[in-house]
Amino acid sequence: MNHEKFHYQSIQDVQNKMQELGVSFPLSDNIGILGEKLEVAGHTIANRIAIQPMEGADSTPDGRPSEYTKKRYQRFAQSGAGLIWLEAVAIVEEGRATPGQLNITPDTMDDLKRMLEDIRETAQKTNGINPVIIMQATHSGRYSKPHGYPEPIIAYNNPLFEKDNPIAAERIITDDHLKELEELYGKVTQMAQEIGFDGIDVKCCHRYLNCELLSAYTRPGQYGGSFENRTRFFRNSFANAKAAAKDNFIVTSRMNLYDGFPYPYGWGVTEGNGIVPDMTEPKKLVGMLKDLGMEMLDITIGNPYVNPHVNRPYDNGGYVPPEHPFEGVARMYNCTKQIAEAYPDLKIISSGPTYLRQFAGNLAAGAVEQKYCSMVGFGRESFAYPQFVQDLLQKGEMDPKKVCITCGKCAELLRGCIPAGCVIRNPEYAAIYQKNILKK
Ligand SMILES: Cc1cc2nc3c(=O)[nH]c(=O)nc-3n(C[C@H](O)[C@H](O)[C@H](O)COP(=O)(O)O)c2cc1C
């Protein structure tokens, strides 16, 4: 199949292509809507733009922010985004995705605290705002690489991923270990609060441990099989985080609505329907989390390791995607809309706008205007062009010469456990890429 790359010069071009493909996602010229404030759980978010969690694989070996990490967050602080969703932070050493993943422990708390203070000071100085900052708390499960090589901890063996090489039985996490981790979410919530975060994300996306359990149809015991069992770890961890949260500390989640694999190995699909999304179970789960006190939800889909075209539609990646990137953007927004329609009072953040380059702001404005979500979170764009927020809010447009070109190199760095950033727009990361990838 031919892979058509981004070449659209106008919104009209984008609309024509959508029509030709028979897909749709929202678009609007009303960029001003992104400058509106949003009230969430007793916090005022200054505008409708979020920086999505973007892992940098650049912490110190013991999980503290390094100079690279701090610089990255300074760029995000200067951006003017109302919400900064801090990247995946491991809650336990065994669950670090890279040896450079941030780790929340009693020893790293002071360093995280100082970084947050610096973010707030810079945001105040540059844009006069105090961003809401959420910490993404994770266990990387099957993608754990605490020493730089795979040391998977899985929910169940999945023949779609493992093929003829099942992972050793002792690497399947036990029910008792899951119970310990559920408890840990309470402790980590206390620590995150003490550090100065505004909220915690009980991460449940991208097929890391919590997310993998959602599709654990074939797992025996209390955490597999029925809907209730598959969602047990998430609900218990969330409830423990909520019980530990004081005052208006936000307990939220970045949650997959769909991961793109067929039953009985996929979440957000139904038996006999291949990989066609079905929002019945995700909707039910969101309802249960709302009953536990969730007021805000960050939505995503796909698996960045196995089907990254679903997670982040691209021009260049590890393979030629089996669909037009617009189909990926449309899927993300149409899944999100179904949740927004079911729970109109929930504050939803949507993902995956970056493929649309200079028109990503139009997608965000359309999504907020047409109530697909309350805010839009930008991932790769935040690495490439953190000033896009100011440009959108002040000039009403993004600069086509500065936007992310979805080349996949930031993800390549991350997968190599190398400090990740934009290789195209930031000379520091161009040099890192040259030294660590090209020369090797
Ligand atoms: C280098 C890199 C690091 C990422 N790190 C995280 C992360 O720590 N947590 C997370 O939930 N998503 C992470 N993502 C996914 C992004 O947050 C986002 O969902 C994805 O890039 C699609 O959005 P976009 O089209 O705006 O880039 C990462 C993506 C990339 C490319």
Q: Ligand 1 in contact with 420 (CB < 6 A)?
A: yes
Atom of ligand 1 nearest to the CA of 378: 26
0.95 surpassed by pTM: yes
Looking up tokens 């999980």 gives 63
Q: What is the pLDDT of residue 439?
A: 86
> Pocket of ligand 1, candidates 6, 49, 52: which has the most ligand atoms within 8 Å of its Cβ, to mutate?
52
Burial of 264 from C-beta contacts in 10 A (0-12 / 13-18 / 19+): middle
| Distance separating alpha carbons of residues 413 and 429, to the nearest angstrom | 9
| Distance separating alpha carbons of residues 50 and 35, to the nearest angstrom | 12
Q: Ligand 1 in contact with 156 (CB < 6 A)?
A: no
Task: Note the helical H segments in 254-359.
Answer: 280-291, 308-311, 325-342
Q: Which residues contact 288 (CB under 8 A, 6 or more apart)?
A: 231, 235
Residue 438, φ and ψ in degrees, nearest 5 = -65, -45
Bridge partners of residue 85, in order along the sequence: 134
Distance 117 CA to ligand 1 centre (A): 24
Q: Where are the domains of the chain?
A: 11-403
Q: Ligand 1 in contact with 410 (CB < 6 A)?
A: yes
Mean pLDDT, contiguous 10-residue spans, the chain (440 residues) = 90 98 98 98 97 98 98 98 98 98 98 98 98 98 97 97 96 98 98 98 98 98 98 99 98 98 98 97 98 98 98 96 98 98 98 98 98 98 98 98 98 97 98 94
Is-contact 412 431, C-beta < 8 A? no
Nearest CA to ligand 1 atom 29: 54
Is-contact 288 281, C-beta < 8 A? no
> Pocket of ligand 1, candidates 312, 329, 349: which has the most ligand atoms within 8 Å of its Cβ, to mutate?
312
Q: Ligand 1 in contact with 87 (CB < 6 A)?
A: yes
Atom of ligand 1 nearest to the CA of 136: 9
Q: Ligand 1 in contact with 379 (CB < 6 A)?
A: yes
Task: Note the helical H segments in 56-203.
Answer: 67-79, 109-127, 159-162, 175-195
> Pocket of ligand 1, candidates 54, 144, 424: which has the most ligand atoms within 8 Å of its Cβ, to mutate?
54
Q: How many residues does the chain have?
A: 440
Q: Which residues contact 188 (CB under 8 A, 6 or more apart)?
A: 91, 104, 137, 200, 241
Distance 226 CA to ligand 1 centre (A): 30
Architecture of domain 11-403: Alpha-Beta Barrel (3.20)
> Pocket of ligand 1, candidates 51, 55, 68: which has the most ligand atoms within 8 Å of its Cβ, to mutate?
55
Atom of ligand 1 nearest to the CA of 383: 1
Distance 47 CA to ligand 1 centre (A): 20
Distance 403 CA to ligand 1 centre (A): 16
Is-contact 129 123, C-beta < 8 A? yes
Looking up tokens 């839009």 gives 376
Sign of the four-CA dihedral 44, 49, 50, 56: negative
Burial of 235 from C-beta contacts in 10 A (0-12 / 13-18 / 19+): middle
Q: What is the pLDDT of residue 75?
A: 98
Distance 284 CA to ligand 1 centre (A): 25
Distance 134 CA to ligand 1 centre (A): 15
Q: Ligand 1 in contact with 54 (CB < 6 A)?
A: yes
Looking up tokens 């995000």 gives 76
